[in-house]
């Protein structure tokens, strides 16, 4: 009964939004612009019933608005680009203004009509970027030319957010990847990197589980990147950091496109300091990024297409890498070199010091004996180092390869003078595969990270004072990591005498200490399949000097997940010098101080609803005073768990998640987060 009631409330809210016309949210989030202003005659009186036309110079599509009794007009859902905004009225000179409209911009363009014939024209030439006077949003915007010329590491567009005031990162190198799989997220105004909302044409583009950025379109495919960091309008919510919206280009009346090829290697790069100090040689790193864009008309002035593709190939061939293994003396139990540092090893059986810090090999644990006996698994040092500092005494080779492919397709349709639509589809595949590791008992993982997204927007003019917008989107992204047994070693735990069985091949991580590198792996396998379904509906109503907006949105999250936990599927065994005073001695005697293993339970699925409703009023009190008034209410229903369907996700991490329907399980507790906020902003300008 309770579940039925809650569902009814949710459905009722959604229907209510549709009836009331919820969502200037669609405008702000879709990247479309708004043109507004007041039209007066030469006496200062308002001019009602006058049609204002904004004509796109690339597509020749006209977007219109009509002045009301107060002379107030608004043109919504205008794609970004160059426009001529014109006014024609019998008995007055025609007036036109040129403007460059930007993503999510509200451009204020007023007109004053002068007596004369329509053939006489007053023209404001090349007004360029219109000053943002209609709201108090703080942020930054990068245009196509800036995107092309500014440094963008690895052509990763998340880098563009770093050119905004209040945005920083402690790790710029994390942006220099073919795909963000762990980093590459900005910190905004002191908020954590998880607190941002990345969008593509207004459609949610975030991984809701780990808060990663699953997709970055090719810079050549993007018209603008808008970063809003403070003073959002009531239309936006769901995050505390920045709202970062990337707008894909649209086709025009002319066929155009470009091609690109970027190549980087290490020929002119220096050898990293630590590698050079140890005597190694730099990697033959190679990265190639290539692709192109194209766009044009299907039917001139009516239907347009745009397409882009970008491929990435990155190879780090097996190259020098150092690790640290047991010195020969220590393999024989001779730790006398530690005496020079005043370190004495105690015999836990007697409490006395081992003579000359030498541990009899007969006291070694079965694991240590088996490890040292198999030099194919655990080799001896191959680089001469003094016992006083034997770090990096083994030279091996490590390498990997990475591949990414992605594309976007966008269609814009000028269905009628009252209806405008667009549809966009984006898809990406990404994989990283290790080629080898420094030595057999060092392991790595292979990753597969698919993504696809679709978004559609419909703008409908109703009468002369009401405009409705509907934005629908779906985002499906995956982050999948599978431990890889490159050399086919199998179950090494059993081979070396560690009991208990194991879920996947490899060796549990052994934390030896005293500068000796850990061996084995935690085997932190992870599969994530995150689906987000989004609906934003908006209604804008121009009433006298008020621009009223009623809006909201609904995001439905379906989060499929397997994660073994921070201790992994194989777990760890740790030594901390508790028993002998020296970590490595504790290891040789197998005196364990800590151990742990992650969860081997079945995968799970979580479902969540996030709903937001708002009402706003941009009230033009006078020609030089505008009040931005708004109220927003948000509801976050706590994520609830769904049952596992056969074959959905498996702990062996061998394949990506299945998308079959699941049987929902009852739960004992439901939590709801909700909030209410209000905003009052004043815009004052001199007339």
Could you report the per-residue pLDDT of 597-634, keeping only the tens digit for each? 988 778 889 999 999 899 988 888 887 788 888 888 88
Q: What percent of the chain has pLDDT over 70?
A: 86
Q: Which of 71-75, 286-290, 452-456, 570-574 has the lowest mean pLDDT?
A: 71-75
460/77 Cα distance (integer angstroms): 9
Q: What is the reported pLDDT for 239?
A: 73
Q: State the pairing for strand pair 197-200/187-188.
A: unpaired
662/271 Cα distance (integer angstroms): 53
In the structure, what pLDDT confidence band is assigned to residue 133 with cuts at 50, 70 and 90? Answer: low
Please compute the mean of the pLDDT values over residues 55-71 and round it to a whole number: 88
220/234 Cα distance (integer angstroms): 32
Q: Which of 612, 672, 551, 679 is nearest to 238 (CA)?
A: 612
Higher pLDDT, 338 or 684: 338
DSSP three-state, residue 455: strand
In the structure, what pLDDT confidence band is assigned to residue 640 with cuts at 50, 70 and 90? Answer: confident
Please compute the mean of the pLDDT values over residues 133-141 and round it to a whole number: 68
Q: What is the reported pLDDT for 170?
A: 86
Judged against a pLDDT cut of 90, whether residue 100 lies above it is answered with no
Which DSSP symbol is given to 189?
T
Q: What is the pLDDT of residues 416-427, one digit of tens each?
A: 988 999 999 999
Q: What is the reported pLDDT for 547?
A: 87
Higher pLDDT, 170 or 492: 492
Q: What is the reported pLDDT for 1?
A: 41
Query: Measured in Å, how far apart are the chain's first and last C-alpha atoms?
Result: 60
240/238 Cα distance (integer angstroms): 7
- 634: CB partners within 8 A, 6+ apart: 237, 238, 610, 611, 612, 613, 674, 675, 676, 677
- Cβ atoms 239, 250 nearer than 8 A: no
Partners of 594 in beta bridges: 574
In the structure, what pLDDT confidence band is assigned to residue 444 with cuts at 50, 70 and 90? Answer: very high
Please compute the mean of the pLDDT values over residues 173-197 and round it to a whole number: 82
Residue 677 CA from chain centroid, whole number: 26
Q: Which of 308, 507, 285 is nearest to 427 (CA)?
A: 308
Q: Which of 136, 52, 146, 140 is nearest to 99 (CA)?
A: 52
Higher pLDDT, 119 or 96: 96
Higher pLDDT, 296 or 121: 296
- Reported as half-sphere exposure (CB side, CA atoms, 13 A), residue 579 has a value of 17
> b/e map of 491-504 (b: 16 or more CB within 10 Å)?
bbbeebebeeebbb
- What H or E segment, with its residue span, contains residue 554? strand 546-563
Higher pLDDT, 346 or 647: 346
Q: What is the reported pLDDT for 122?
A: 57
Please compute the mean of the pLDDT values over residues 407-413 and round it to a whole number: 96
In the structure, what pLDDT confidence band is assigned to residue 123 with cuts at 50, 70 and 90? Answer: low
- 646: CB partners within 8 A, 6+ apart: 660
Partners of 21 in beta bridges: none
Q: What is the reported pLDDT for 377?
A: 94
Residue 597 CA from chain centroid, whole number: 30
Q: Which of 601, 460, 485 is nearest to 539 (CA)?
A: 460
Where along the chain do its domains lie? 285-321+396-684
Task: Give the tokens for residue 653.
Answer: 């991490």
Q: Extract long-range pairs of 144-148: CB within 8 Å, 24+ residues apart.
A: 144/222, 144/223, 144/224, 144/249, 147/219, 147/222, 147/224, 147/225, 148/219, 148/220
Q: What is the pLDDT of residues 555-567, one digit of tens each?
A: 999 998 888 888 9
Q: Which of 11-20, 108-117, 478-487, 659-668 has the lowest mean pLDDT?
A: 659-668
Q: Which of 361, 297, 240, 145 is nearest to 634 (CA)?
A: 240
Q: What percent of the chain has pLDDT over 90?
A: 40
Which DSSP symbol is given to 12?
H
Please compute the mean of the pLDDT values over residues 244-267 and round it to a whole number: 91
Higher pLDDT, 18 or 100: 100
Judged against a pLDDT cut of 50, whether residue 211 lies above it is answered with yes
671/201 Cα distance (integer angstroms): 32
Judged against a pLDDT cut of 70, whether residue 234 lies above it is answered with yes
Q: What is the pLDDT of residues 298-314, one digit of tens each?
A: 999 999 999 999 999 99
Q: What is the pLDDT of residues 504-551, one digit of tens each?
A: 899 999 999 999 999 999 998 888 889 999 999 889 888 888 889 898
Judged against a pLDDT cut of 80, whether residue 194 lies above it is answered with no
Per the rule left: phi > 0, alpha: psi between -120 and 50, beta: everything else, 71 is left
Judged against a pLDDT cut of 90, whether residue 102 lies above it is answered with no
436/398 Cα distance (integer angstroms): 5
Higher pLDDT, 34 or 21: 34
Strands (E), 236-302: 243-248, 256-265, 286-299
Higher pLDDT, 674 or 526: 526
Q: What is the reported pLDDT for 135?
A: 61
């Amino acid at each position: 009964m309770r579940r039925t009631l809650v569902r009814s409330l949710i459905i009722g809210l959604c229907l209510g939004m549709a009836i009331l016309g919820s969502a200037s949210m669609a405008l702000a989030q879709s990247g479309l612009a708004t043109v507004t202003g007041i039209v007066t005659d030469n006496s200062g009186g308002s001019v009602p019933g006058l049609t204002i036309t904004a004509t796109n110079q690339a597509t020749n599509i006209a977007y219109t608005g009509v002045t009301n009794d107060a002379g107030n007009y608004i043109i919504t859902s205008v794609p970004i680009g160059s426009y001529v905004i014109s006014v024609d009225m019998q008995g007055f000179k025609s007036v036109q203004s040129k403007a460059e409209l930007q993503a999510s911009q509200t451009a204020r363009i007023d007109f004053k009509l002068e007596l004369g014939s329509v053939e006489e024209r007053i023209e404001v030439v090349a007004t360029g970027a219109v000053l943002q006077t209609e709201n108090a949003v703080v942020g930054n915007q990068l245009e196509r030319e800036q995107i092309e010329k500014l440094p963008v590491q690895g052509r990763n567009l998340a880098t563009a957010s770093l050119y905004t005031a209040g945005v920083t990162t402690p790790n710029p190198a994390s942006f220099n990847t073919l795909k963000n799989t762990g980093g590459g997220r900005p910190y905004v105004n002191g908020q954590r990197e998880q607190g941002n909302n990345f969008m593509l044409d207004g459609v949610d583009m975030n991984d809701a589980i780990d808060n990663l950025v699953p997709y970055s379109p090719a810079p050549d495919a993007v018209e603008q990147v808008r970063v809003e960091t403070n003073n959002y309008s009531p239309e936006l919510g769901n995050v505390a950091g920045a709202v970062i919206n990337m707008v894909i280009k649209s086709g025009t009346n002319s066929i155009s496109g470009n091609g690109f090829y970027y190549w980087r290697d290490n020929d002119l790069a220096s050898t990293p300091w630590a590698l050079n100090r140890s005597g190694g040689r730099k990697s033959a790193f190679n990265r190639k990024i290539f692709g192109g864009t194209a766009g044009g008309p299907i039917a001139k002035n009516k239907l347009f297409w745009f397409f882009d593709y970008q491929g990435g190939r990155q190879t780090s061939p097996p190259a020098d890498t150092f690790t640290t293994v047991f010195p020969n003396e220590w393999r024989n139990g001779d730790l006398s070199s530690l005496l020079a540092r005043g370190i004495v090893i105690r015999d836990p059986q007697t409490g006395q010091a081992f003579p000359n810090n030498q541990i009899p090999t007969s006291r070694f644990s079965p694991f240590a004996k088996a490890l040292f006996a198999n030099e194919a698994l655990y080799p001896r040092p191959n680089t001469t180092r003094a016992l006083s500092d034997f770090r990096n005494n083994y030279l091996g080779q490590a390498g990997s390869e990475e591949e990414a492919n992605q594309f976007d397709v966008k269609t814009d349709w000028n269905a009628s003078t009252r209806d405008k639509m667009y549809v966009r589809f984006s898809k990406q595949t990404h994989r990283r595969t290790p080629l080898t590791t420094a030595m057999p008992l060092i392991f790595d993982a292979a990753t597969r990270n698919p993504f696809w997204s679709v978004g559609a927007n419909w703008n409908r003019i109703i009468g002369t004072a009401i405009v409705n917008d509907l934005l629908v989107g779906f985002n499906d992204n995956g982050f999948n990591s599978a431990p890889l047994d490159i050399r086919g070693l199998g179950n090494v735990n059993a081979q070396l005498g560690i009991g208990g069985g194991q879920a996947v091949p490899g060796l549990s991580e052994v934390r030896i200490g005293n500068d000796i590198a850990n061996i084995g792996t935690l085997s932190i396998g992870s599969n994530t399949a995150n689906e987000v379904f989004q609906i934003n509906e908006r209604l804008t109503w121009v009433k006298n000097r008020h621009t009223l907006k009623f809006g909201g949105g609904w995001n439905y999250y379906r989060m499929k997940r397997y994660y073994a936990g921070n201790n992994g599927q194989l777990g760890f065994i740790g030594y901390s010098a508790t028993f002998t005073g020296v970590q490595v001695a504790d290891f040789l005697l197998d005196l364990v101080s800590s151990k742990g293993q992650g969860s081997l339970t079945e995968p799970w699925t979580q479902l969540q609803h996030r709903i937001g409703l708002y009402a706003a009023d941009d009230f033009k009190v006078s020609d030089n005073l505008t009040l931005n008034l708004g109220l927003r209410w948000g509801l976050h229903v706590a994520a609830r768990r769904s049952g596992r369907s056969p074959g959905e996700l498996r702990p062996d991490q061998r394949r990506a998640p299945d998308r079959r329907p699941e049987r929902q399980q009852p739960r004992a507790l439901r939590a709801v987060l909700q909030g209410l906020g209000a905003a009052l902003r004043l815009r004052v300008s001199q007339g």
